Copies of this chain bind each other. A is one copy, B any other.
Amino acid sequence: MSEDTKSPRRRIGGSGARMRDVAQRAGVSPMTVSRALNTPDRVSPEMRDRVERAVKEIGYLPNHLASSLSSNRSTTIGLIVPSIDNSIYTQTIKGLSDTIRRSGFQLMISECGYDPAEEEELIASLLTHRVSGLVLHNTAHTAQAEAMIRQSGAPVVENGNLPEKPVDMAVSYSNQAAAYAMTMHLGRLGYRKIAFASLAALNNDRSRSRIAGYLEALEALGQEPDPRLIIETGRGLAAGAEAVARIVQGVPEADALFCAGDVLAAGALFECQRRGWPVPGRIAIASFDDVELLRHVTPAVTTLRLPRYDIGERSAQMLLSRIIDGADHLRGSVVDLKFEIIQRESA
């Protein structure tokens, strides 16, 4: 019994039991409770039982803030994506989430909206919360952001592209190689006027890489690049529809449209359906991301299968290796998870 724990400071609203309460209940020292919970093989089985029973009886939930502060190790991973409500990131998030959860880690997710200054602010905030690792979708950062990362010593994985010189580690596919491969594929299928619809390249190195891959392929195919065939659009299905309209108006003889995004491709296809144009009869459509939607529309869309889930999973594995096993040899590694062309009906 005894309630004589002197507490000259707050202990507000039902914040729950402390380790010392468990210790008292089990008749052992707090240190033994700590060991029983964190390194069970370093206490006798009998003690382990006693402690476990006491934990259950008083409904003890350990305080990770205190344990992280004391041990200088945390069990949270920070993630910054350009946009939370974009389907292409959710698969990667799921891969990350599934993997870190198995090691008892939690995910802190923030959204930077394609803005490096926002990203910098969020990195600061996450480091302030002492995340033990970071996942960034961007591969371009402010100098200040890189400095903070370096100073913090936290391992980092970059995800959106294969960077020349990663801040720390990177896991991705090559946007340039993927765009090159699909453009070549369209060329080999016989298309002679291949248009390219892309998101704005500003602040988006993925977009820039994709355009570069497209141009590289045109050259390899011996096709003259035509600025009227390259258009930048906004986001959303409406942007895809607009892309079709602009291309066909500017270059009526265009026979294929390669959309650098699943949503754009779907929007383009729907616009063709609306106009009653046969695809690929009037114009072929190819996409960049294999989302479920593109498999089920009519015609099913030729696209690239990108390893979105695997990127998350692998990123998590590498971070955990660094954090838990101190796998320093991973520093500097850039993992290319490749991609695959999925040939369907639309091209």
Q: Mark A residues whose CB is within 8 Å of B.
A: 10, 12-16, 59, 61-66, 68-69, 72, 74-76, 84-87, 90-91, 93-94, 97-98, 101, 104, 106-111, 124-130, 147-148, 150-153, 236-238, 241, 266-267, 270, 273-274, 292-293, 295-298
For the complex formed, measure the closest distance between the CB of A323 and the CB atoms of chain B, giving whole angstroms.
Answer: 12
A/B interface sample: 7 pairs, CB < 8 A: A15-B153, A61-B152, A65-B69, A87-B87, A97-B109, A266-B296, A273-B298
Asked if B15 contacts A64 (CB within 8 A), the reply is no
7 other A-B residue contacts (CB within 8 Å) besides A76-B129, A238-B296, A270-B298:
A59-B151, A84-B94, A85-B91, A85-B93, A86-B90, A94-B111, A101-B110
CB distance from A59 to the nearest CB of B (A): 6
Count of identical protomers in the assembly: 2
- Chain B residues with CB under 8 A of A297: 270
Task: Please provide the 9 A-B residue pairs with the shortest distance between their CB atoms, ordered closest to farther.
Answer: A85-B90, A14-B153, A237-B296, A13-B153, A65-B69, A64-B129, A270-B296, A85-B94, A64-B128
B107 in contact with A110 (CB, 8 Å): yes
Given A93-B85, A94-B85, does the pair A108, B76 have CB atoms closer than 8 Å? yes
How many angstroms between the C-alpha atoms of A65 and B336 in the bound complex?
Answer: 35
Report B-chain residues with C-beta under 8 Å of the C-beta of A106.
Answer: 108, 110, 125-126, 129
- Residues in B with CB closer than 8 Å to A267 are 296
B residues in contact with A152, CB < 8 Å? 14-16, 61
CB <8 Å contact, A69 and B72: no
Using Cβ atoms and an 8 Å threshold, which residues of chain B touch A59? 147-148, 151
Q: For residue A63, which residue of chain B has the nearest CB?
A: B130
Q: A266: which B residues are within 8 A, CB to CB?
A: 293, 296
CB–CB A236/B10 < 8 A:
no
Collect the chain B residues with CB atoms within 8 Å of residue A292's CB.
236-237
B85 contacts A111, C-beta separation under 8 Å: no
A76 to B129, CA, bound (A): 9
Contacts of A110 in B (CB 8 A): 97, 101, 106-107
Task: Flag if A148 contacts B93 (CB, 8 Å).
Answer: no
Q: Choose one: B14, B148, B293; the contact of A293 (CB below 8 Å).
A: B293
Please determine whether B125 and A104 come into contact, CB atoms closer than 8 angstroms: yes
A106 to B109, CA, bound (A): 7
Complex: chain B residue closest to A276, CB-CB: B298
Residues of B within 8 A of A98 (CB): 111
B contact residues around A68 at 8 Å (CB): 65
**Residue of B64, B87, B153 touching A130 (CB-CB under 8 A):** B64
A124 CB to closest chain B CB (Å) equals 6
